[in-house]
Structures are given as structure tokens and as C-alpha cells.
Structure 1
Amino acid sequence: MSRAHVEQEIRRFLDIGPVQIAELDLEGPGATLRPGPGSPPVTHGEVFLLVRRDGRPVGTLLGRVPEGADPKTVLAGLARERIAPERVGNGNGAAEAERSASAGAAPSVPYTSVVIATRERAGQLAHALDSMLAQDHPDFEIVVVDNAPVTGTTRDLIERKYAERVRYVTEPVPGLAVAHNRGVEAARGEVIAFTDDDVVADPRWLTELTAPFTAGPELGCVTGLILPARLRTPAQVLLESHGGFAKGFTARTYDPADPPADESLFPFTAGRFGSGANMAFRRSVLRAVGGFDPATGAGTPARGGDDLYGFVRVLAQGHRLHYAPQALVWHHHRETWRDLETQAYGYGAGLTAYLTAVLVNRPGLLPAFLARLPRGLAHARALTVTREADTDGTRTPGAHDDRSHPWPGRLSRLQRRGMLYGPVGYLRARRALRAALASRESR
């Protein structure tokens, strides 16, 4: 790539301005507008809008409020125009009937353990825990796993502010999967929900994430919706303009006994199923597959892939996975260009690291993997192409991906390099883990 092209990408990146975040709840012909969690009230300018209908998330859009205009009026008009009427409602009889049909008694939910792994981020953790304590789920516990701590900051926070509601445990071996496995050991719930220390959970998050488990023992895992908590920096806006972590607003169940016709790589396209910041497993199922591979995840040479590994292992065991878009958390995206570079490389590495982990731990899947390999390589290439901005002004109504900024070629190249490194990183992580465990046992 020429120096001129690199400089052009940098200028484009630096020109990306901040975007406000807001929520709009459409209730019949009326609407309620409020800022996103931690955001100031909406004024004029560009707005990332979550549209709800009677509290339920139904879509997102990117809109602009002209100076001097009423934000609620402008954004409500955009919501009704861009998102399918049957999803947002227009105050007509059919919409009201649908709303009434979906209402009713609160769903039954299993006793649940919420596991949050953290390392030296007490400020962010406090916001996450505050949102956990505001959940409407009637019966749950919170377990914080302090991963390889170097200070007592996290322990002090829990003891000072949350001791009555939060259990604190430590895991000296670094790595997100190791920390999650420690949380699984400590958990008492029938269902174990996982989220990150940099999220703010919607008050109904845990109820919506765990209610599907009551349908039957065939369901092993549920994932939910992840939206941005802030879009203040170019890095945050760029990531979200290309989809972020969101998987849409349509609930879906993946059944290994009835593979989806539109997923030719199933079950190896684990990134389609959800993300580790918003997932829950039936405890018996997760323990039956051995938990997460401890040589995957952030904090290890593998860089990531622990959540994807868990999804595929559960599906390979014959259990279903359900995506529940009503289970919402707001995630604090990375803030700088350097963060994006690290993230792009880590995503690529985590993708191939988790595939390596699956085949090492479940070699019986190798024939199915090899059969899908040619299409998988094409899919990997498509994931890492330089994606341009939409130039014709067209958008799919209710779509999350309002691709308003081009995706830099450097980030695509870093992701491809990460993919090449992933298997090596996984093997290095296994060696490092064995050494760490041996050192701990010798003490």
C-alpha cells in the first residue's frame, strides 16, 4: 500500500466525528426519548438510536437532528419511516393486538449465577455491577473473578461497596477462559451468565437471557444483543458503523439436529452466534464439555476465541443455541486507533485459535471441518476485505449496519495476519498454561 493511501486512510479516520446515543420508546402514537446510559440529553447532530416498542428493542438507526429541531419529533419520524411498521407499531389495532399478545405474566427464570471476569479495571467494573444490581431477575448471584491481580483495587471495591451481593474469587493464572472456568467452579446457579466488566446491562437483560432455558433441556446456550455505550471517538464510531458486536433484532435458534440452510459453515461460523460479553450456558452442559479451553481468550498468546470455542462445543454436543435480541447490554468499545489495531489482530488470531482448540479437543470434528474448509477460506477472505462506505444512500430498514465510514485496509491486513498466527498462538498458550500450572503446584 502506498504512503499516500495510508495517509488518506488516516485523514478519513481522524475526520470521523462523535455520535450521540439515545433510546426512543414508541408506545402507540406516542414516544419517549432518553439518552443512552451515561450519555447527556440529545441535541442537534448525528444520533445512534435504539428504537424500542413498549420497552422491547426492535431496531437501530443512524439519524441526524437539524439545529433548532425537536429531537424527539425528528427521531420518532425516522424510526417509523425506516424500521418496519409491524415492528415499531403505529397505534393501529393490529399493532396493539400484537403488543397485547406479547404481554402477560413475567416469564419463569432459573436460579442464575452471573460471572464477571476482571483485571485492574475497578472503575468500569463498578458501573457493570451497579447495572447487575438493578436487574429485575428474581433469583441470581454475582461472582467476580479477579484474574491475576497485581493490586488489591478490585478486592477493595467489592469489600467496600458490594460485599453483601457479590462473591469475590481470584484466579492467579492469567487468561479470560481460565478466569471464566474459575467462575464456573464457584457458580451455584442452574444457569451461568457471563458478561464483561466494561458493559452496562439493561434492567431486563438477565431475565431475557435466562428465560429461554425453561423451554427444555435441549437448549445449552443463549446469547444476546450488544450495542455501543459510547460513540465519542473515531475508533468507536468506525467499529460500530461496520456492525460492532450486534447480531440483529430477530430471535433465532440454532439446532445441530436441523442445521440452518443459510449457514453452510455451521457450526464453525461461531461468530454469528453471539459474543462473550453477553452469553449464558446451562451449567450442566458447560461442565459436560469441560468448560472453556483455558489456552484461549484474552490474556493468553491465543488472543481470543474462548467464547466461540464454548458455542461450538455446546452445539457439537447436540445442544441448541438461541439468540435472544431482547437481552441487551451496552458495551464500551475500544477508544483509540491503536486499540483497533490490537482488536483486529486479536479477532483474527482468536478465530483460528478457537478452531485449532476445537479440533485438538474434539478430533472427531475434523472430517466435518475439512469438508467445509474451501468455503471457510472464502468466508475468511470476505471477512477481511477492505470495506468501503455505502455511497448510494440506501439502507435496509431497521438494519444495524449503517456503513457510513470505509474500513481501513490496515485493519483488514492485521486481521489476516492474526488468522495466520492463531494456531501458533494457541499452541504457545497451551505450553504457557502447562508451565503456569506446574509452577503453581510446585509452590
Structure 2
Amino acid sequence: MREPIPADLKDIRFPVPIRYLDLASAEVDTGSSALSEGLVIFLSDGLPVGQAYVDKPENTTALALRVVQPETVEHAHQVAQIPLKNHDVSILICTKDRPDELARCLASIPRQSLPPVEIVVVDNASAGDGTRRVAEAAGATYVREDRIGLDYARNAAVRAATTEFVAFTDDDVVLHERWLENLMKGFDQPEIGCVTGLVLPGELSTPAQLIFERHWGFGRGYRRRDFDRHFYRRHKRHKNPMSMVGAGASQAFRRKVFDECGLFDVRLGAGAAGCSDDSEFWDRLLHHGHTCRYEPTAVSWHFHRKDMEGLAKQIHQYMKGHVAALLIQYQNTGKLGNLRRMLMSLPWYHLKRFAKRLERGATSDNFFLKEEVLGSLQGAFYLLGRWKMQPW
């Protein structure tokens, strides 16, 4: 049975092609061909520096001039020239019942330009022994965490790591060969406690994957950004837009920030509230005076859920986790902007989109509105019932 899809995707042919074009290639330099459809990602020295969706024929040179900023290319070149000072880093991966995806992720680690000191795989109560066998075959340290929840697993990974820095990725991610090196180069100032990276789609083979990438994706653009105490204070009246910082699928930390700020809150994340454990932790870092940096030259690829039913459940969990995190951030900091977001901004945002849906029908930006609203409500009740629970 064919899955229902939004009206604005009915004329799109799947899979949507993802095409990588080097700016130094003759195809881009001469504009000798036209691009007709799909996602086009431009490369400079092997690193993505700009992208665009194309739905009609467009000259390659003209497209590159439109979407690639000179300062982005220059930044990628500068990062390549920076000497690497921070080598003491572990790669941490938390997983549950996905040995095939884990094997694919682990296979991208030996190609890293900066080899990690250790790889730690935390198995969050998988049913069989496939996860252990895959981890051990890759030479990783295998840790079993039987308490269900991503953040029990993440905290177990932090405790198991022996290095000054720790870098998290997910089992459904593949890493660019310079991912770890460029994350570590981001720690060039002592106040930087976290560095995140650019996460691109691994494929766009189904409507569900395209919807996720367009409206919920992990990419945060091609410009480096620092989120510091000035950013934190600027949003004092309102909830800090922490999703701008990056994605939990690509993040590294100084190990000592966990000693100062605590570990991941086990009330959040997959297996608990469902999401926003990473953004809540970034908010906590900023509250304690640290800086979070988004570094777009630290590149990885995420393979989104392929089916609409799975995406609907994921979005429900995302909104459940988002609202739970707002309450936790209020609990931790007393910032009323978190309550304002939950009680005023978010309901108004949903109401406007509901009105648009009544007027224009279900499109990809509001197709899962019911899941968003129900997830938001459930998130509030979920966290209030765990208000006094120990966070880690």
C-alpha cells in the first residue's frame, strides 16, 4: 500500500539525486552542463562549501556563484592550514539493535585523518549479541548499559572515555575523513567547551527523508558560528534557539565540562522524553560561561528514516523532548523565556500553521502537525511527572 504524501511532493521523482561538484572541475569552471533536479553540493578541496535544491535546468557556473560564498571557501582553506594541537580524543557511539548501521559508521573511522585514541561503543540493552560482535570486530571498547535511554548510554560513554576530549556520533552516520580533525581544530580557545559539525543527508530516496531534511534536518549552513555568553544574554527574555548550535549526531566536548556542568539529563533523549538532550546540555554550557562552536568543515552524513510512519513517530518524540527540555532549562536556570516559549510562542506557532493547513491543505511543512501538537502536550506532562527525578 502506497504511503500518503504531502501535495507539494507529489510531482517529485524519488530517489532525489544528490550530486557533488568540485568548484575546480571543468564542469563548474566552464558551465558546460546544466543541472536539472536534485540536491547539488559544491566542494572545495574535498569539503562541502555550499548547496542548493534544483527543480529546473540551471547552469552550473551560475548556480555556484549564487550559492557558494567566497568567505566559506576561504574558511575551509584556512582550517586546512591550521596545525592540529588537540590529539587526545575518543569517538563515542551509542547504539541499540542496529548492528548493520553501526558497522557502516565504524567503517568510516579508519579513514580519519586524525585517528582517535579509542573508540567506545555503548550498547543500550540490545536484544542480541550482534552489537558486541560488530564493536569488537572494529577494535572498539564495548560497554553494555542496560538502563534504557540514550542518555544513560551517553553518560556511560563519557565515564568510560579516558581522553581529554570526547566526540559523539550516531550509529546511522558516516564520517568525512577529516571530521574528527576539524572538530578538534575548533577547540582553539580555552572557553570553547563544545564543537559541532555540518551534517548532510546520506540519501534522499523517499518522501519521508526529503521532508525530514527540508524541515527537520541537521544541517546548519556553511559558516562558522560561535555561541557565547553574549548570545546567551541576548536571548535572556526568550528561549535560547539552541537548535542553531548543531546536531547531536556530530558533537565534541572537553571532557572537563562534564565535571563542571554535570552529565546528560537522562529524562531527555531517545528512550525517555525522546529528544533535545544535546540542546539542553548546550544551554547548560552557555549558562556556565562556556562557548559552543559550529564548525562546518567537520562533515558527516546522516541516513534519515525512510518511511512516513517512522518519521511521524520521530517528530512526535522530537516535540515531546523539546517541551520537556524547555521545562528542564527553566528548572536549571530560572529563565522565564523557556516557559514563554512553551505556553505562548509554541501554541501560537501551531495555531498559525493549522490555519494555513485549513486554507491550503496538507503540505510537507505541516503534514505531521498532529504529531507535533500531541508530542508537545505529552512532553509537558512527562517532565512534570519527573520534576524531582535525579537528572544523571
TM-score over 0.5 (shorter chain): yes
Preserved CA contact (<8 Å) 2:232 2:287: no
Q: Distance in 2 between matches of 1:26 and 1:118?
A: 37
The residue number in structure 1 matching 2:168 is 194
Residue 48 (structure 2) pairs with residue 57 (structure 1):
yes
The residue number in structure 2 matching 1:24 is 21
The residue number in structure 2 matching 1:77 is 61
Q: Distance in 1 between matches of 2:247 and 2:223?
A: 16
State the AA in 1 paired with 2:316.
Y
The residue number in structure 2 matching 1:412 is 369
Aligned-residue offset at 1:16 = 4.0
Q: Aligned runs of 1:337-348 on 2, under 5 Å? A: 337-348=308-319
Aligned-residue offset at 1:88 = 7.3
Q: 1:115 to 1:88 in 2, by over 3 A?
A: closer
Aligned-residue offset at 1:375 = 5.8
Q: 1:383 to 1:278 in 2, by over 3 A?
A: farther
Residue 379 (structure 2) pairs with residue 422 (structure 1):
yes
The residue number in structure 2 matching 1:320 is 291
Q: Distance in 1 between matches of 2:266 and 2:241?
A: 21
Q: Of residues 284, 290, 294 in structure 1, which corresponds to 2:262?
A: 290
Give structure 2 stretches of 5+ with no counterpart.
none
The residue number in structure 1 matching 2:194 is 221
Q: Aligned runs of 1:76-115 on 2, under 5 Å? A: 76-84=60-68, 86-87=70-71, 103-104=80-81, 106-115=83-92
State the AA in 2 paired with 1:276.
G
Q: Aligned runs of 1:121-270 on 2, under 5 Å? A: 121-159=98-136, 161-163=137-139, 166-213=140-187, 215-242=188-215, 244-257=217-230, 259=232, 261=234, 263=235, 268-270=240-242
Q: 1:428 to 1:148 in 2, by over 3 A?
A: farther
Q: 1:168 to 1:78 in 2, by over 3 A?
A: farther
Q: Distance in 2 between matches of 1:243 and 1:298?
A: 16
Q: Distance in 1 between matches of 2:131 and 2:79?
A: 41
Q: Distance in 2 between matches of 1:322 and 1:60?
A: 21
Which 10-residue stretch deviates more, 416-425 or 219-228? Answer: 416-425
Q: 1:423 to 1:110 in 2, by over 3 A?
A: farther
Q: Distance in 2 between matches of 1:126 and 1:48?
A: 27
Q: Distance in 1 between matches of 2:340 and 2:388?
A: 30
Aligned-residue offset at 1:426 = 2.9
Which 10-residue stretch deviates more, 14-23 or 268-277? Answer: 14-23
Aligned-residue offset at 1:22 = 2.2
Aligned-residue offset at 1:383 = 5.6
Q: 1:13 to 1:183 in 2, by over 3 A?
A: same
Aligned-residue offset at 1:275 = 1.5
Q: Distance in 2 between matches of 1:267 and 1:218?
A: 22
- 1:398-418: CA deviation from partner (whole Å, max 9, x where unpaired): xxxxxxx93253412321221
Q: Which has the larger radius of gyration?
A: 1
SS across alignment from 2:87: coil
Preserved CA contact (<8 Å) 1:224 1:328: yes
Residue 251 (structure 2) pairs with residue 274 (structure 1):
no
Aligned-residue offset at 1:118 = 0.4
Q: 1:265 to 1:381 in 2, by over 3 A?
A: farther
Preserved CA contact (<8 Å) 2:238 2:341: no
Preserved CA contact (<8 Å) 1:148 1:173: yes
Q: 1:188 to 1:377 in 2, by over 3 A?
A: same
State the AA in 2 paired with 1:327.
A
Preserved CA contact (<8 Å) 2:90 2:167: yes
State the AA in 2 paired with 1:279.
Q
- 1:30-81: CA deviation from partner (whole Å, max 9, x where unpaired): 759xxxxxxxxxx985221221222232111112586xxxxxxx67325323
Give structure 1 stretches of 5+ with no counterpart.
1-6, 33-42, 67-73, 90-94, 390-404, 438-443
Aligned-residue offset at 1:242 = 2.9
Q: 1:349 to 1:265 in 2, by over 3 A?
A: farther
Which 10-residue stretch deviates more, 310-319 or 237-246? Answer: 237-246
Residue 326 (structure 2) pairs with residue 355 (structure 1):
yes
Q: Distance in 1 between matches of 2:160 and 2:379?
A: 30
Aligned-residue offset at 1:136 = 0.7
Aligned-residue offset at 1:134 = 1.2
Preserved CA contact (<8 Å) 1:254 1:260: no
Preserved CA contact (<8 Å) 2:327 2:339: no
Preserved CA contact (<8 Å) 2:6 2:363: no
- 1:94-128: CA deviation from partner (whole Å, max 9, x where unpaired): x8xx8876653543223111110001101111110
- 1:299-336: CA deviation from partner (whole Å, max 9, x where unpaired): 12x12221112111111111111111111110011111
Q: 1:236 to 1:184 in 2, by over 3 A?
A: same
State the AA in 1 paired with 2:372.
Q
CA RMSD for the aligned pairs? Answer: 3.3
Residue 303 (structure 2) pairs with residue 332 (structure 1):
yes
Q: Distance in 1 between matches of 2:61 and 2:336?
A: 50
The residue number in structure 2 matching 1:396 is none
Preserved CA contact (<8 Å) 2:151 2:266: yes
Q: 1:186 to 1:375 in 2, by over 3 A?
A: closer
Q: Distance in 2 between matches of 1:144 and 1:312?
A: 26
Preserved CA contact (<8 Å) 1:52 1:59: yes
